[in-house]
Structure 1
Amino acid sequence: MKLDFSTMIHQRISWVQILCATLFLNPIFAEWNTRDYIRREHSLTKPYQGSGMSLPYWDFLGSTIVTSNYVRLTPDLQSKAGALWNTVPCNTRNWELQVQFKVHGRGKELFGDGFAIWYVKERMESGPVFGSKDYFNGLAIILDTYSNHNGAHNHQHPYISAMVNNGTLHYDHDRDGTHTQLSGCEAKFRNFNHDSHISIVYRDDTLIVSTDLEGKNAWKECLKVENVLLPTGYYFGASATTGDLSDNHDIISIKMFELDLLESQKKDEDRSHIIPSAASFEAPRERIEDAKPAMSGIKTFLWMMFVAIVIIVLVVLGIMWYQKRQEQSRKRLY
């Protein structure tokens, strides 16, 4: 089939346009694709592939169960703890972790305790910090829902905070960790009909935590902390716990993205031996002991009655002792 001259010219122009678009736009798309490079070995998405009680690249312990729609760390029952841990250490220097989750339960005013997202050296170790190890090495992003919090605080719950630990710091659960946190923000993420999202970005020694709690597909910055040092080779995980109060803590998906190195970062730098640290903490406060609660009227009455009975018994015993002594004295006289 023969083509006329105008058709040939049109085809050549079309190919030139395509070639120019490829040459000029390809670097842009390449850069975008590199920044959004998802690491499958650190990610968990539906449909969850696995057989029975196993998931590729992930281990779980405690009360954790896997369904077709979510991984439930704890059910809405008292005294439960569960965790989900990546089996592959992260050797990426700059990364973003996006977690899709849902916290919900029957409690309207009282609920708890919450869950934590981890990037730490120790994995699969149960403990008192939202179901995981205290005195850990690495980073914890804590989503605390315990509404009846202790101590003098300037925030409401639920509350999101960040903590970096080198293995020497204790997470003070009775004070909601406010004395060791880097920063934090209030975040109402409980009992929504839709799922909630949190983004944790660690890039160029800067930690940024953002949330999408309203289902608008837009991130809202929660906290930003510079000069945070985290080594490579640690593990991602999530854990949750309930006490006297409870909630369902569900993980829907975890997506880890490898981010490009900046020009200022050395490509061949070995960061596996860095000790986790942060240059500054949120305004440090003295540990103030909670004021002892005043006794109720019933307790006060019972306490006074107990004291009165003790006094009466002592008086009676004293009188009996005195009378016996007097009787013995009279016997000696006769």
Structure 2
Amino acid sequence: MSNVFWENLVKLLPILLLSVLKNSECSVSSNEYMKREHSLIRPFQGVGVNLPYWDFLGHTMVTSNYIRLTPDLQSKSGALWNYSPVMTRNWELHVTFKVHGKGNELYGDGFSIWYTKERMQPGPVFGSKDYFSGLAVILDTYSNHNGPHNHQHPYLSAMINNGTWTYDHDRDGTHTQLAGCEVRFRNVDFDTHVSIRYENDILSVSTDMENKGEWKNCFVVNDVELPTGYFLGLSATTGDLSDSHDILGVKFYDLDINVSPEEIASRSSILPRAKTYEPPREHKDDPKPGMSNAKIFFILLFGMLITIAGAIFAISYFKEKNSRKRFY
């Protein structure tokens, strides 16, 4: 082949490559596309004052590379809320985050990803209000966890609420959780990710916590009903224990295919619920811990001393009484 042929081929390669990329982008966007008004992409704009499409409160700090919901200090809370309601029937949310701190054995508390009717309302549930209406996906890092559990921390769980149930912090929400799985994301050297997909009343949560570039399933729950018109948010809190909770990116994808505006509008009036949801169990206090061996030893020793003292007193009393009888 002539040199002219190869020169023309080299010139055409960039054009062909660009065409392939454009076609692949179109094929992806035909089924799902990212909506800017519900997303956050670095570098973040409006550093320190305003953030396009989002509000923040509490101890939240915005930089160009990360949004820190809480610093690694005690008794801090912060939140980040999207101010555009989600008018999408089916959607997927990807959150990139980083949780890190100085504590090696004791740290906390964690953060939550919200899809709720309420927004910008601080409260006791990882920095947001209790008795919420909607969905909470909670990443609980509290190392000194409350009550007996059959899982380790950090722990990822989901809760569907219609505004009538409380999140039981004393039991890490296990009495009202929809589903959950153990996760390992704290103090790693790479970005960590969580995916929340809601499609045709199926809620699925996946994670990428191992820097493999692939999603690992956490749980899938059928028959979950969520209204349209709710708001996306993220919040975090620290107590006696602390961590830095950083949000590195939020991407929201519209999955609607052949969904009519009438169907989207009709979904705005339903109440959040999960048909397979286990009803909240009664809150029961932890059983009182049994006595230690040392405490049992001292109680027995004290009882023996009282018994010996009583016996000595009784013997002395009867001896004195008998000696008095001899003088009469």
State whether TM-score is above 0.5: yes
Tell me the residue number matched to 1:83: 79
Q: TM-score, normalised by structure 2?
A: 0.79
Tell me the residue number matched to 1:330: none
Give the Å deviation of 1:36: 3.3
Tell me the residue number matched to 2:135: 139
Matched-pair contact (CA < 8 Å) for 1:34–1:259: no
Superposed CA offset, 1:256-315 (max 9, x none): 010133x6x6663121111000011259755442122356769x98xxx9xxxxxxxxxx
Give the Å deviation of 1:152: 2.4
Tell me the residue number matched to 2:249: 253
Matched-pair contact (CA < 8 Å) for 1:202–1:208: yes
In structure 2, relative to structure 1, the CA distance for the partners of 1:86 and 1:277 (3 Å cut) is same
Q: Distance in 2 between matches of 1:138 and 1:71?
A: 24
Q: How does 1:277-292 map to 2 (within 5 A)?
A: 277-281=273-277, 287-292=283-288
Q: TM-score, normalised by structure 1?
A: 0.78
Tell me the residue number matched to 1:15: none
Partner of residue 32 from structure 2, selected from 32, 36, 49: 36
1:268 has 2:262 as partner: yes
Root-mean-square deviation (Å): 2.8
Give the Å deviation of 1:92: 0.7
Partner of residue 181 from structure 2, selected from 172, 177, 185: 185
Total equivalences in the alignment: 282
For the residue of structure 2 that corresponds to 1:35, the secondary structure is coil
In structure 2, relative to structure 1, the CA distance for the partners of 1:284 and 1:137 (3 Å cut) is closer
Tell me the residue number matched to 2:158: 162
Q: Aligned letter for 1:142?
A: I
Q: Aligned letter for 2:192?
A: S
Partner of residue 168 from structure 2, selected from 163, 169, 172: 172
Give the Å deviation of 1:148: 1.4
Q: Distance in 1 between matches of 2:64 and 2:235?
A: 19
Matched-pair contact (CA < 8 Å) for 1:182–1:282: yes
Q: Distance in 1 between matches of 2:170 and 2:286?
A: 10
Superposed CA offset, 1:107-152 (max 9, x none): 1111110000000010000000000000000000000001111222
Tell me the residue number matched to 1:202: 198
Matched-pair contact (CA < 8 Å) for 2:47–2:64: no
User: Which stretches in structure 1 are left out of the alignment for 5+ residues?
Assistant: 1-6, 8-17, 306-334
Q: Percent identity?
A: 63
Partner of residue 71 from structure 1, selected from 61, 67, 92: 67
Q: Distance in 2 between matches of 1:185 and 1:51?
A: 35
1:48 has 2:44 as partner: yes
Tell me the residue number matched to 1:98: 94
For the residue of structure 2 that corresponds to 1:41, the secondary structure is helix
Tell me the residue number matched to 1:312: none
Tell me the residue number matched to 1:12: none
Give the Å deviation of 1:34: 2.6
